[in-house]
Amino acid sequence: MKAVVIGGGVFGSLIARELTKYDLEVTLIEKNLDVGWGVTKANSAIVHAGYDDPPESVRAQFCASGNAMYEDLSKELDFDFKRIGSFVVAFNDEELKELERLLKQGEENGVPGLTILERDEVLSMEPNLNPEVKYALYAPTAGITEPWMVAIAAVENAVQNGLKLVLGESVVGFEKVNGRVRKIHTSKGEYEADIVINCAGLHADEIAKLAGAEYVPLHPRKGEYILLDKKLQGLVKRVIFPTPTKVSKGILVLPTVDGGILLGPTAEDLPEEMKDRPITTREGLEKVREFTKKLVPSLDFSLVVKTFSGLRPESPQKDFFIKVSETVKNFVNVMATRSPGLTAAPAVAKYVVEELIQEKMRIPLEKKKDFKPERKRIVHYSELPLEEWRREIERDPRAGRLVCFCNEVTEKEIVEAIRRGARTLDGIKFRTRAMFGRCQGGFCMARILKILERELGVDMSEIRMKSENSWVVNGKVRE
């Protein structure tokens, strides 16, 4: 029995891992040169509590349950997850009514611990908030993580358990027999399939169309962000939401897992042809500045590290579309996974494998006896006690050679990232946080290029930043 997952974002990665718990041949096909680089890469990194989703929605079905799974998942896969809680703040009695509605909705959705706090308690917990705040809905179960690392960790663990990972190949067609997909054609090859799971993010509607399956039309909703330096660590301790509107949850202020402060996102609906163009604009970033200053007046924009934007898939029904196709009997759609997609993904992965494949499609799967549930992260040596770090340097001097000074990343960490599959500068960046700091690679990129060149045995001109077209060095460095 052969299962093929299309798309290596957080949904595809977790579903692929879930499938490797069973006696199946599992293949994950990702068009980019690494996993977690689409919708997963650029979002707010929030594990939502679950009060924002209408109780009758598919989103509500999976949000609170997905949130509850993150504690154990982060321990098994050894990625950062911090349950820091969130505030939705209100500045007047009209906004208080919306907090009361969200509280009631959250309780219907099974979200634990929700409560509305008054001004003094809010400011005692978050003293840097605008002192004009009157109320806040407190959700203690909300958390933060690194979405790309959830995908990377899930795939690393799945590969340990037999996953075949295919990178840099786009799906271009399907062969069907008696209403079932039997072969998937990519830009470079073909793959047999008994089960197909479509997790292609913003392009999932196009994949479903190719297969002749049902779909909902998707368009990109752009969010622009500003990342502030770790010097502001502690400015806020929780995720700070404004009172939401019908368009979005609002422009937020939140800490990142490694100590920065993230501001955003905006919410701008774009035409379908903009699915691969996550650009920033002066107007969008100015809006982020203006709205976040109302929440936290002391924000210091002289400490901007970078600006960026992300695209998430939006659909007319504004809800997930997770179904077995009626027309292509072995094809599962996991699409329109807008917010709270990151939060819902672990619960959706279990649902797809246990309910849709085994119950709905009536495909019996037998669990492996030797599934290995744990994966260990790359050791970040500067976080070790000094004596332990000294012993590691004695064993391997590369553990003492700092390459990225902003985030204190050593040569040994970069070599380990390459050993685990990094083939590009971004592959190193998202596995180690090198080039993620204050200088954004200005100091360390050249050194990382040399390490990649040495370890991969290729000329520097063959190394890419991210995609096949993102060359860094034009022309051969050595003959």
Active site residues: 48
Cα gap 71→69, rounded to integer Å: 6
29 has which bridge partners? 6, 166
Which tokens hold the place of 172?
């271009």
**CA terminus-to-terminus distance, the chain:** 47
Q: Inter-axis angle of helices 411-419 and 445-456, to 10 degrees?
A: 50
The two most distant CA atoms of the chain are separated, in Å, by: 71
Cα gap 11→14, rounded to integer Å: 5
Long-range contacts of 324-327 (CB under 8 A, 24+ apart): 324/356, 324/360, 324/361, 325/208, 325/211, 325/213, 325/214, 326/214, 327/179, 327/212, 327/213, 327/214
Which tokens hold the place of 228?
């502030």
Q: How many residues does the chain have?
A: 479
Query: Cβ atoms within 10 A of the Cβ of 249, count?
Result: 20
Which tokens hold the place of 309?
């934007």
Backbone angles phi, psi at 101, to 5 degrees: -65, -45
